[in-house]
Chains A and B, each alone.
Chain A
């Protein structure tokens, strides 16, 4: 492949950043000085292209160091990885966290999603923008203290809404979270991230309500998240030892017997076709494939509004995820696992990185895990803001260094290839979310019946927002009572943006999803519906027509419906229904298929425009 580059050069900083990630270039092909040796040597083919998966980490490195991705920097990264610059530009622009136009080193991401909107994000944004001068800060890039304000989709800090995340590019990159944010705390986080107050500990997001002892959250707030010894002292590694005693087939049998089902984000459950598939069967399918290498991918990229349980688990009990990934990899015969987490969760990334490093140093990861001959290691990959990466084929493409888009050929069984047959880098792959993985630990230590609880993120108009652990089948009303729901409840959104609204008089249904948001009367319901529509319009990857254009038309119609008494309201409702039905039926992946759910339930069940 003969690459063509425009006449652009990286700055010294950009070159050093890329070299720090990839090592110094070996030849002029990769961008080094041309020498005599280069005249009798060429590079290319599969070997040169085999590092494509480092494109996303490379883009992150540049964004962290410089704040944006310049043409010279991208070209140099492309030379190093033998990737065409047009393609890499396409990859970079498929992620909302990256900018390919100059912007100040500091970016303040202000969450304007559902929960934060209900908590006053609009006023917060306006206040911050007037204080910081908004994007006008672009004039005079030289000043290091300029700040770009970006209105973001859900930052996953919903229990502390409204939230803002400041990222100050540099060496090293600095981050600060202001949540709950005021104009003052957000501006402080952006202008002086080092002196901003520390985030509360992870357990602050786990309300203790005196219910039966939590199983999945049992160690959050009890164990020191930075210490392997403390983890072991609190029952850590028991499940892993049991797994080694059972053997891979035995572990798979235990998981099948437990009936564990995937608990991913609402639009993208671990199963295909929108149905939860028993995890054990998927793992068995991958384990029975003859091809090697097999891969394990832990998709911790939960970015639907109202979802933050993965973050809490990773921040509060990171070694549990390391152990659970090791067990899953042992069961399916994978030697490498990828943990794909959100770029907006710097603390979770830091803690997981430290946990993986220490686990490796202590023999919990590496060529010989616990001296039992099983080789396994974990690589951490950061996403860059694309909600669609919750979809299991999109996360694989993202890790491989392609655009954040799902795979067009439907992975629904029995139609091949599903990831368990042909997934990451073409090998059999199991994609699984954090909660499902962590649920494997009690199944192994306490038997198959131990999977009977699930985690639910509760946020919005409640006194005790956070992650609640519930027995399966518990009623929504019971959960809300536990979370301390406030009196003037107007609507409950179950399942986040991809879920549906429930009326306050319908709370006797079982909790069917891991995300519950309670709304009172502060924000008018039509405003919430149009915010849901805005979310899907902003998060559509653009691959298929019904979702790319349908989400735009849905948002336009909902904006018109802000005045529901208008003469065209009936037409607009009919139009919404027809577009919604086509999105649900004809879209390529779960994102488009669920883009109409919440709006439909708002219209039909809440009677928002009735």
Chain B
């Protein structure tokens, strides 16, 4: 039986969402409130297990009285607020942000990105062939984790998961400034020289696939990565007695990826190197 903590009862507050009065518990972010009432809001860098970083700016909504749009992932609903989740102003910003993003990084492995680009009518090629892009090649400095700067949104989720909001390993950090901003190890050292413990938690919070397991990367390069054909089976890790929940992603009867449900009661999505990458023994018949 799963025991779900209900937490402290929270007061309800009322605000206007697209002209309709709605009620949400105190402390609800505008993003969660919008989604709870069926509003489709695109958002890349928001992951439930991490504090909102407000980096991608796709989830912006219009709050009456504010000069600029607000990132709905970062802003809590307040009583009496009047919020517009899909006005022309909001859609313009989302479209332009999609265009800017897709013109500078490779979004081919970002779930939903192509759908949003179509939905908002974004034209990433409008900046011309001379538009600066992240062209760096994937970094293959170890056998488990692949870092692809050309796909990186620089949202810092991996840094948060590696550091103060998760593993407390601090192997990765955001460095540089402006367009030169990147994620990596100090002095661009290889991951093998860093504090990395290869827990793979960063893979789990990366919204664009800039971080992936070597297995997934190799299958994608070979053209045999077939996500729709994969099954997901949730089980419990057998390596030790902690009881971390695992989701095994299986393609052609081979485990190709291991994740952990973010609402898993034991570790809330965190795994260690064995749980994340040490599954070959399952298929070893000798």
Chain A positions within 8 Å of B, measured between CB atoms, are: 1-4, 6, 71, 74, 84-90, 93-96, 100, 273-275, 386, 403-404, 408-410, 412, 414-415, 537-546, 548-553, 556-557, 560, 571, 575, 578-579, 581-582, 584-588, 593
Contact = CB atoms under 8 A, between A and B. Distances in A.
Contacts of B132: 552, 556
Contacts of A551: 178-179
B60 A586 contact: yes
Given A414-B78, A415-B78, A87 B56 contact: no
Nearest to A94: B177
B173 A84 contact: yes
Contacts of B194: 4, 86
A96 B178 CA distance: 11
Interface in B67-91: 67-71, 74-76, 78, 89
A139 B76 CA distance: 54
B182 to A, nearest CB: 9
Contacts of A74: 186
A406 to B, nearest CB: 9
Contacts of A548: 154, 178-179, 181
B68 A415 contact: no
Nearest to A549: B100
Contacts of B168: 1
A537 B93 contact: no
8 contacts: A84-B173, A86-B173, A87-B163, A538-B178, A541-B181, A545-B153, A571-B126, A588-B57
A582 B187 contact: no
A540 B96 contact: no
B189 interface: yes
B54 A556 contact: no
B36 interface: no
A386 B57 CA distance: 22
Contacts of A581: 92-93, 96
Given A87-B173, A274-B67, 6 more contacts: A93-B176, A409-B75, A537-B178, A548-B178, A575-B127, A579-B96
Contacts of B223: none
A409 B178 contact: no
A539 B97 contact: no
Nearest to B60: A586
A92 to B, nearest CB: 8
Interface string B170-204: 11111111111100111101000111000000000
B96 A582 contact: yes
Given A412-B66, A415-B78, A586-B93, A542 B181 contact: yes
Contact of A543 (B55, B130, B163): B55
B170 A585 contact: no
B177 A542 contact: yes
B170 A86 contact: yes
Contacts of B89: 585
A556 B130 contact: yes
Interface of B: 52-58, 60, 66-71, 74-76, 78, 89, 92-93, 96-97, 100-101, 103-104, 126-128, 130-132, 153-154, 163, 168, 170-181, 184-187, 189, 193-195
Given A556-B127, A575-B126, A549 B179 contact: yes
B176 to A, nearest CB: 5
Given A545-B57, A582-B97, A588 B71 contact: yes
A581 to B, nearest CB: 6
A563 to B, nearest CB: 14
Contacts of A538: 178
A71 B186 contact: yes
Contacts of B70: 410
Given A415-B78, A549-B104, A586 B69 contact: yes
A160 B75 CA distance: 45
A404 B176 CA distance: 10
Contacts of B128: 556, 560
Contacts of A550: 96, 100
Given A409-B74, A540-B178, A100 B187 contact: yes
B71 A408 contact: yes
Nearest to B130: A556
Contact of A90 (B52, B60, B173, B178): B173
B68 A586 contact: yes
B174 A403 contact: yes
A273 B63 CA distance: 12
A273 to B, nearest CB: 5
Contacts of A93: 175-177
A467 B54 CA distance: 38
B184 to A, nearest CB: 8
Given A544-B57, A588-B57, A89 B175 contact: yes
B52 to A, nearest CB: 7
